[in-house]
Structure 1
Amino acid sequence: MKDVKFAITDIETTGNGIKGNRITEICVIVVQNGKVIDEYSSLVNPSQAIPLYIESLTGINDEMLCNAPQFSEIADEVDRITQDCVFVAHNVNFDYNIVRAEFASLDRDFKRKRLCTVRLTKKLIPGLFSYSLGNICTSINIPHLDRHRAKGDCDATVTLFHRCLSLDPEFEVINQLLNQKTAASYLPPNFKSSDFEKLPTSTGVYFFKDKDGRPIYIGKAKNIKSRIKSHFQERSNRKYKLMQETYSIDYELTGNELLALLRESELILKYFPKFNKAQKKVSRPYTLTSYHNQKGIEQFALHKNKIAPVSWMKFYTREEAIKFMEFLCEEFELCPKYCGLQAGVKVCNHYKIKNCSGVCQHEISIDEYNARVAKAVDYIAKYDDSCLVLENGRTKEEKSFIYLNKGKYAGYGYIGPSDDFNHPEEFKNFLTPSKTSSYADRIVSRYLNTKKNLSKIALNKENEEESIENEIWFG
């Protein structure tokens, strides 16, 4: 291991994150056995204008770069000097991915083992206030001249690397970091690999937090650990910035995807995390109405953006509405023509519904057909009932419930087999109240319209006093 060559690298860029970012300056210093054996540095013409804030930070401007070589002209030299080396940088994923992208733009591959001096310093010099290059150099008295220029930053990183080598003479820590085969090699620079290993593989909501513990991104997942790993491996400007600002990750187990979706929506509206895309305003729903046509047949219709005197149900996409109406037709032997599924036909001829009652062909009376519609309306009405939707809990022994108050999400809770829960109204002892929203409405609507074998307990007055046998929950 002592004969390994380390290509310590620093780049300056146009400042566009990762994708679309171009190199404006590069410095590579090769270290072997504790000594510098090779060095290369150059300005680079990025073929694009330098933003003013980058010029203010680095001092590199368009005039300095107009006669500098393009990356295509120095690619062979960068390839040569880093060949058979470990690619080392402070926050290595940034430098490495941009250098690799420059080679990819030339249809060339660039693969090197990577070593991050941020992670290395955290292992060998724990407890520093900050692990940015400038703050580390100040904390442990490393000269750092010409900051935010490739040569100045690279010289400081070389000194820092030599300091780390003195603290790791047997290369135990370096070997550990080089041979990581897990998501730890993709971890954000400020995030501990031990914390990643503790993440659960269960369903729930997770929080990326900044150094002050504030949520900066909230998501939901069936497998929290796997989903977070995928965040680490994504290559985008937005994800790169998120990783740089992440200092810790927290989570909340829910036991099921419905509650995870509801909690994610609720928490985003509560904290407005900076890296979550703003929740778009939910479009006005499709409304299911009914009326008596000129023949006296009670007919269903779907309207969008209209106020109707009778409103039975709402859907947030036309596909959901059509699917539900097809179900009603099959379940109650209704006519597709009078359910908003066909128009401009005298006799229904639906591609899917084959059990029409025949009202469109005068095979049954209007009164008999309207009686079937009435049963369908009774079925629809149950969606606006107050109820508890039963779902899996956070453990095998536990069950969760989602409380719908007149069809609107109003909270959730968890019940264990030893909890005293014998009457419907006792759910309030376990309830965590929640605020509803248009997002929650949509989530609940989709769940109710698509979930097969729905398990729930009605909270109507007729059965308020009915006891709940334990097998409902745990059988």
Structure 2
Amino acid sequence: MKDAKFAITDIETTGNGIKGNRITEICVIVVQNGELIDQYSSLVNPSQSIPLYIESLTGINDEMVSNAPQFSEIADEVEKITRDCIFVAHNVSFDYNILRAEFTNINRDFKRKRICTVRLTKKLIPGLFSYSLGNICTSINIPHFDRHRAGGDCEATVTLFQRCVSLDPEYEVITEFLNRKTGASYLPPNFKNSDFEKLPKETGVYFFKDKDGIPLYIGKAKNIKSRIKSHFQERSNRKYKLMQETYSIDYELTGNEFLALLRESDLILKYYPKFNKAQKKYTKPYTLTSYHNQKGIEVFALHKNKISPVNWMKFYTREEAIKFMEYVCEKFELCPKYAGLQRGVTTCDHYKIHSCSGVCKGQIEVDDYNDRVAHALDFINQYENSCLIMEKGRTKEEKSFIYLDKGRYAGYGFINNSEDFSHPEDFRNYLIPQKNSSYTDRLVSRYINTKKNLNKLPLNSIEEVIENEPADWFH
């Protein structure tokens, strides 16, 4: 290891994260046995305009790079000087992935073992206020000239790396970093390796947090550790920015995916994390309502924006609503024309449902047909009853429950398997109340309507665990 060559690299770019970002300047200094043995630097024409804020930061403008070589013209030099070297940079994932992207653009591959001096310094020089290159240099008296230029930053990184080697003369820490096989090699620069190793492989929700402990992103996963590792390995502008701002990761176990989905929704609406896109926009549901027409027939209708005195059920896609009403029509021999499935027809002529009782043709009395509708409404109302949905717990010794208050999500809880609800109100001793939202409405609706062998305890007869009628119309 002491004879290894280290290609210490710094690049300046056009900005904008990872994708679409182009190199404007590069500097590579090769170190072996503590000595500088080779060096290469060049401005690079990015073939795009340099934003004003980048020009203000680096001093590199369009005129300076107009006659500079494009990356394709210097790729051989970069490949040659870094060949058989360990790639070193401050926040190595940025420089390395930008460089790989440039090689990919010209249909070439670029792979090197790599070490991050941010992580190396945190290990060997712990307790600094900040681990940005400028602040480290100030803290430990490293000269740092021409900041935000590739040459100046690269020279400072070389001195920093040499300082780290002096603290690790047997290369034990460096070897450990190189041989690491876990997702820790992809960790954000401000995130602790030890924290990653502590992450569980169970189901739950997780939080990416900033330096003040404020959630930046909240997600759910069947395997929290695996999912977080996949975040580290994703390459996009948005993920790059998230990784740069992440200082810690927290989690909450749920034991099952349905509760994880609900908790994810609860927490996103509570904290409104800046990197979460989903669930921030309100989606108006399709509402199932009914009314009596001029003939006295009770008619079902689906609408999205109208206000009506009677609302039987909500759906969050029209496809879900249509499938449900087709099932109800067949089960209770209702007329598709009067069930919100057909419009502008004199008599029903549905492509799928042929069990109409004939009310549209006058073949059945209105009162008899409305009795069928009443039975259908009884069936629909079972989806709106208050109940507990029982699910797996966080351990083998417990189970979880989701409380639906008149069909709406109202909270959750965990109980020991040995616990027995002898009275309907007993569950409230374990309940963690939550606010309902249009998104949780949607989650609950889909879960109930698609889950086979649903373990559901009605609160009007909680001693009896029932199996809800399988919703075959979704399968």
TM-score (norm 1): 0.92
1:12-411 pair list within 5 angstroms? 12-277=12-277, 279-345=279-345, 348-360=348-360, 365-411=365-411
- For the Cα contact (< 8 Å) 1:422–1:469, is it kept in 2? no
Q: Which amino acid aligns with 1:257?
A: E
Q: In structure 2, do the counterparts of structure 1 residues 72 and 225 end up closer, same or farther at CA, with 3 Å as the change threshold? A: same
In the TM superposition, residue 238 of structure 1 has moved relative to its aligned partner by 0.9
In the TM superposition, residue 186 of structure 1 has moved relative to its aligned partner by 0.9
1:267 aligns to what SS in structure 2?
helix
Structure 2 residue ranges without an equivalent (≥5): 468-475
Q: CA RMSD in A?
A: 2.3
- For the Cα contact (< 8 Å) 1:9–1:28, is it kept in 2? yes
- For the Cα contact (< 8 Å) 1:320–1:449, is it kept in 2? no
TM-score (norm 2): 0.92
Q: In structure 2, do the counterparts of structure 1 residues 412 and 104 end up closer, same or farther at CA, with 3 Å as the change threshold? A: same
Stretch of structure 1 that moved more, 342-351 or 377-386: 342-351
Q: Which amino acid aligns with 1:245?
A: E
Residue number in structure 2 paired with 1:426: 426
Q: 2:463 aligns with which of 463, 468, 471?
A: 468
In the TM superposition, residue 467 of structure 1 has moved relative to its aligned partner by 6.1
In the alignment, the residues of structure 2 paired with residue 347 and residue 420 of structure 1 have an alpha-carbon distance, to the nearest angstrom, of 54
- For the Cα contact (< 8 Å) 2:137–2:144, is it kept in 1? yes
In the alignment, the residues of structure 2 paired with residue 358 and residue 198 of structure 1 have an alpha-carbon distance, to the nearest angstrom, of 65
- For the Cα contact (< 8 Å) 1:45–1:65, is it kept in 2? yes
Q: Percent identity?
A: 80
2:56 aligns to what SS in structure 1?
helix
User: How many residues are treated as equivalent by the alignment?
Assistant: 467
In the TM superposition, residue 218 of structure 1 has moved relative to its aligned partner by 0.9
Stretch of structure 1 that moved more, 141-150 or 20-29: 141-150
Q: Which amino acid aligns with 1:438?
A: S
In the TM superposition, residue 77 of structure 1 has moved relative to its aligned partner by 1.0
Q: Which amino acid aligns with 1:370?
A: N
Deviation string 1:333-364 (CA, Å, 9 cap, x unpaired) is 33333322234555545444454445556665
- For the Cα contact (< 8 Å) 1:2–1:33, is it kept in 2? yes
- For the Cα contact (< 8 Å) 1:38–1:81, is it kept in 2? yes
In the TM superposition, residue 296 of structure 1 has moved relative to its aligned partner by 4.1
Stretch of structure 1 that moved more, 4-13 or 369-378: 369-378
In the alignment, the residues of structure 1 paired with residue 8 and residue 327 of structure 2 have an alpha-carbon distance, to the nearest angstrom, of 65
Stretch of structure 1 that moved more, 152-161 or 360-369: 360-369
1:31 aligns to what SS in structure 2?
strand
In the alignment, the residues of structure 1 paired with residue 331 and residue 113 of structure 2 have an alpha-carbon distance, to the nearest angstrom, of 62
Deviation string 1:81-126 (CA, Å, 9 cap, x unpaired) is 1112111111111001111111111122211111111122222222
Q: Which amino acid aligns with 2:423?
A: H
In the alignment, the residues of structure 2 paired with residue 359 and residue 453 of structure 1 have an alpha-carbon distance, to the nearest angstrom, of 35
In the alignment, the residues of structure 1 paired with residue 256 and residue 360 of structure 2 have an alpha-carbon distance, to the nearest angstrom, of 44
In the alignment, the residues of structure 2 paired with residue 192 and residue 138 of structure 1 have an alpha-carbon distance, to the nearest angstrom, of 23
Deviation string 1:105-154 (CA, Å, 9 cap, x unpaired) is 11222111111111222222222222211222222222212111111111
In the TM superposition, residue 291 of structure 1 has moved relative to its aligned partner by 2.8
In the TM superposition, residue 190 of structure 1 has moved relative to its aligned partner by 1.4
In the alignment, the residues of structure 2 paired with residue 16 and residue 285 of structure 1 have an alpha-carbon distance, to the nearest angstrom, of 37
1:410 aligns to what SS in structure 2?
strand
1:334 aligns to what SS in structure 2?
coil
Q: Which amino acid aligns with 1:99?
A: L
